DNA sequence: TGAATCCTTTGACCTAAATCAAAAAATGAA
DNA sequence: TTCATTTTTTGATTTAGGTCAAAGGATTCA
């Protein structure tokens, strides 16, 4: 899956791909494990092979706000912390038993130096993440609660039914009571 | 200013910088000029030397929604359209008389091929844009109108007083009436 | 310099969604 | 299998901010 992801962006030879993959580690993570806490500098970039990851932060009143869901087939990171090596604003966790490929910042930098194509991939990855964030921003700003939930269903159909309701509600910027009522009216 | 921007990310020699700058053009643009319309594929990346740029889109009801303001010292683009060469979701315009450096996609690609450092710069640029978008997303989701305006004041103090109120209001996801009332209470 | 257009303010009223509270359902641990 | 904890649903009430309408100000351009 990771191989396909790379090949899709920039073509590699089989030898190159094998070498690139050797920089990654394979990990199995149990449900509800925290990968990064707020304030830590994130040293790893993750690729979700199976399962769901989530980033969130705590409001002053202690309530969690989901910032993003990472489904299978996507890279996951506390992007600003990892790329800019600054303290993370977010917590990162997995909300299901999850299979991850991971790479450290140091190894990624080595890879980027070794393969120019890798730098291209990271550039494209950053732009892709950027695009999807912008898309979310536009889907949430000025939209009603119902429209925001419709965006969620179309953008993350699988996650919409696997993540706890409260986590989805905060991702969409509404209370869980409101989301619960929306779901009821959905089925009618 | 553009030189400083580059040097700040990756060191170049004087000769290199001169060569890189020769790929850019210098343009003076009159207030309220549209640079890109929705649906067009954006072929240019802009650097704002002086003035203010703005991206916006139209809702189904025809109302403009400001997506971003670009102040002096920043790159401006319809990011997804320029980098991925897809039809732009946004309009791009300048809201003051503006001095811009511009570079076409073709020339930028040449530069990236010629100087690896350029690819690094674009990668870092993409990550920087990403980070600031994420920051906005977090500052708007779950915040009250007052808090959103405070974010605007701290993030874009200059633009807060130079852009028309309606444009700022839609950027912050509120009506202009609400923003007008906020400002009044501000002064009290 | 004045008509025309655009931008901002103000007021009255309304509504979507938040808050508060508590019951019901689901999950998990012993 | 039961008890405890967490998650979801439902109801009653409140409120922030939206909508509608109209009047003032400020720009612009002939």
> pLDDT 10s digit of each residue in chain A, 188 long?
999 999 999 999 999 999 999 999 999 999 999 999 999 999 999 999 999 999 999 888 888 999 999 999 999 999 889 998 999 999 999 999 999 999 999 999 999 999 999 999 998 898 888 888 888 888 887 889 999 999 999 999 999 999 999 999 999 999 999 999 999 987 54
CB contact under 8 A, A65 and B119: no
The one-character DSSP state at A87 is B
Q: Which of A134, A151, A170, A176 to mutate to probe the B interface, most B CBs <10 Å?
A: A134
CA atoms within 13 A on the CB side of B63: 12
Could you tell me if residue A108 is inside a domain?
yes
The answer to whether residues B147 and A148 touch, using CB atoms and an 8 Å cutoff, is no
The CA–C1' separation of A165 and D9, in angstroms, is: 12
Boundaries of domain holding A63: 2-179
Q: Pick from B84, B123, B137: which is nearest to A136 by CB?
A: B137
Question: Residue A45 has what pLDDT?
Answer: 97
At B66, is the secondary structure helix, strand, or coil?
Answer: strand
Could you tell me if residue A138 is inside a domain?
yes
Could you tell me if residue A123 is inside a domain?
yes
We report the CATH number of the domain holding residue A11 as: 2.60.120.10
CB of B10 less than 8 A from some CB of A: no
Output the average pLDDT for chain B.
92
As beta bridge partners, residue B99 has: B28, B50
Question: Residue A187 has what pLDDT?
Answer: 54
* Helix residue ranges per DSSP H, B33-175: 79-84, 105-114, 116-140, 145-155, 157-162, 165-172
The count of structural domains within chain B is 1
**Residues B155, B150: Cα–Cα separation, whole Å:** 8
User: Chain A contacts of B140, Cβ < 8 Å?
Assistant: 137, 140-141
User: Is the Cβ atom of B63 within 7 Å of strand C at any atom?
Assistant: no
Could you tell me if residue A186 is inside a domain?
no
Q: Pick from B130, B138, B140: which is nearest to A79 by CB?
A: B130
Could you tell me if residue A188 is inside a domain?
no
The CA–C1' separation of A92 and D6, in angstroms, is: 21
What phi and psi values does residue A58 have, to the nearest 5 degrees? -105, 130
Could you tell me if residue A185 is inside a domain?
no
* Stretches in chain B below the pLDDT threshold 50: 188
The answer to whether residues B100 and B89 touch, using CB atoms and an 8 Å cutoff, is no
* pLDDT tens for each residue of B38-57: 999 999 999 999 999 999 99
* pLDDT tens for each residue of B144-175: 999 999 999 999 999 999 999 999 999 999 99
Question: Residue A131 has what pLDDT?
Answer: 86
Question: Residue B185 has what pLDDT?
Answer: 84
CB contact under 8 A, B80 and A127: yes
Could you tell me if residue B188 is inside a domain?
no
**Residues A158, B182: Cα–Cα separation, whole Å:** 41
Question: Residue A133 has what pLDDT?
Answer: 87
CA distance A130 to chain B (A): 5
Question: Residue A97 has what pLDDT?
Answer: 93
Q: What tokens were used for A124?
A: 């494209």
Question: Residue B40 has what pLDDT?
Answer: 95
The answer to whether residues B45 and B105 touch, using CB atoms and an 8 Å cutoff, is yes
Could you tell me if residue B160 is inside a domain?
yes
User: Chain B contacts of A131, Cβ < 8 Å?
Assistant: 79-80, 84
Q: Is the dihedral of CA A108, B10, A80, A122 positive or negative?
A: negative
CB of B60 less than 8 A from some CB of A: no
At A114, is the secondary structure helix, strand, or coil?
Answer: helix
């Amino acid at each position: 899956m990771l191989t396909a992801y790379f090949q899709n962006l920039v073509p590699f030879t089989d030898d190159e791909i094998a070498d690139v993959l050797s920089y990654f580690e394979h990990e199995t993570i149990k449900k509800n494990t925290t990968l990064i806490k707020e304030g830590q500098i994130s040293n790893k970039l993750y690729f979700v092979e199976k399962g769901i990851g989530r980033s969130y932060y705590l409001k002053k009143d202690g309530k969690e706000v989901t910032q993003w869901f990472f489904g299978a087939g996507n890279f996951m990171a506390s992007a600003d912390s990892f790329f800019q090596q600054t303290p993370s604003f977010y917590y990162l966790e997995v909300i299901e038993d999850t299979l991850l490929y991971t790479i450290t910042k140091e190894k990624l930098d080595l890879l980027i130096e070794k393969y120019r194509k890798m730098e291209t991939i990271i550039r494209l990855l950053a732009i892709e993440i950027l695009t999807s964030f912008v898309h979310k921003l536009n889907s949430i700003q000025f939209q009603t609660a119902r429209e925001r939930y419709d965006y969620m269903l179309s953008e993350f159909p699988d996650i919409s039914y696997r993540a706890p309701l409260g986590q989805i509600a905060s991702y969409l910027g509404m209370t869980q009571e409101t989301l619960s009522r929306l779901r009821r009216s959905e089925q009618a």
